[in-house]
Amino acid sequence: MSRSGQASFVIFCWLSALIPMLCVIALLAFLAARGLPTVSAALFFGDTQPLAALLGRALVWDGIWPACAGTLSLVILSAALAIPVGVACGIHLAEFATGRSKAALSLGADLLAGVPSIVMGLFGFALILLLRRSLMPDATTCLLLSAACMALLILPYLIKTTQASLEGLPEELRLLGPSLGLTRLQAIRHILLPAAGKGILGGAVLAIGRAAEDTAVILLTGVVANAGLPRGLLDKYEALPFFIFTTAAEHQTVGELNRGFGAALVLLLLTSGIFLGAHLLHAAMQSRWRTSA
């Protein structure tokens, strides 16, 4: 390759890296310019006293605090349902499954990953209709149904990232367990999982971010406006993506639209906080593993 060709290739690589970064910076700057002026106690609590709203003693009608609480509840419950199953399935595919069973499980995970979120929402809604006509006449959409459908939606991320993280480990690391006299399960727990922890946590963060921002699933499975703080698993709830959607679709003034931008900024900060927490958790796990090793 000539020098001019090499220089053109280097410039192309730099542009390929800079353009997405500049797009993200421009998006963040636009979001901050529109939403940051609205971020205040009034955005979260409206005219309600903050302490009374935080303790659930007073309803919040014109603030996003119930939507923040609903989003956190949805994310935590979805993660609690999906992460153990997804990680366990990924471990099985990477370490135990062989032949046709591995191919069948991998195909199932791939098909589940290709299901659109609106179809998953329709599945949850159809499930409620089936329960009403059979076992539970009083069944209705709720937080638990949304979390279960969301868990199914994010499950493939957890399965594939866990499988890829374990299969990408070097072979000498796999031989370390038997050389130390460890059983296969002990080697997976004490050697392979800590070594693959960064990739597994990365998949968990992506899955949690998807659970925090998806709107199509929750539209059909339990989210409503002005539901207040979630009181239980079988109650309706509010969520930030739904608030942003309804604000963008039904705003009457520029101020109302800016409140939607403020809610989007809060949602972005929420997912960033989750990512930071996962990073700190991974650092603590690595430090503990190195100390014990």
Cβ count near 247 (within 10 Å): 19
92 in any annotated domain: yes
With a CB cutoff of 8 Å and minimum separation 6, the contacts of 236 are: 141, 142, 143, 222, 223, 224, 227, 230
Alpha carbon distance 97, 91 (integer Å)? 9
Q: In this predicted structure, what is the pLDDT of residue 152?
A: 92
Beta pairing partners, 134: none
Averaged pLDDT in 10-residue chunks for the chain of 293 residues: 77 89 90 89 87 83 89 92 93 88 90 89 91 85 92 91 89 82 84 84 83 86 86 90 89 88 90 78 68 57
20 in any annotated domain: no
Q: In this predicted structure, what is the pLDDT of residue 80?
A: 92
15 in any annotated domain: no
Q: In this predicted structure, what is the pLDDT of residue 289?
A: 60
CB 142 within 8 A of CB 233: yes
Supply the range of the domain harboring residue 134: 39-291
Reported as half-sphere exposure (CB side, CA atoms, 13 A), residue 207 has a value of 35
Alpha carbon distance 229, 226 (integer Å)? 9
Could you give the residue ranges of the DSSP H alpha helices within 114-183?
117-133, 143-167, 171-179
Alpha carbon distance 182, 200 (integer Å)? 23
Q: In this predicted structure, what is the pLDDT of residue 261?
A: 92
244 in any annotated domain: yes
103 in any annotated domain: yes
- What global pTM score does this model have? 0.85
What percent helix, strand, coil does the chain show, rounded to 5? 75, 0, 20
In 3D, which of 222, 239, 56, 225 has the Cα closest to residue 144? 222
Q: Environment class of residue 129 by beta-carbon count within 10 Å: exposed (0-12), middle (13-18) or buried (19+)?
A: exposed
CATH, residue 166:
1.10.3720.10
Alpha carbon distance 143, 148 (integer Å)? 9
In 3D, which of 136, 159, 162, 149 has the Cα closest to residue 77? 149
204 in any annotated domain: yes
Token representation of residue 175: 């031989």
30 in any annotated domain: no
Alpha carbon distance 88, 96 (integer Å)? 11
In 3D, which of 206, 207, 220 has the Cα closest to residue 78? 207
Q: In this predicted structure, what is the pLDDT of residue 88?
A: 93
**Dihedral Cα 35, 39, 45, 47, nearest 10 deg:** -90
19 in any annotated domain: no
**Could you give the angle at the alpha carbon of 51 between the alpha carbons of 48 and 57, nearest 5°?**
70
Query: What domain count does the chain have?
Result: 1
Token representation of residue 177: 């367990």
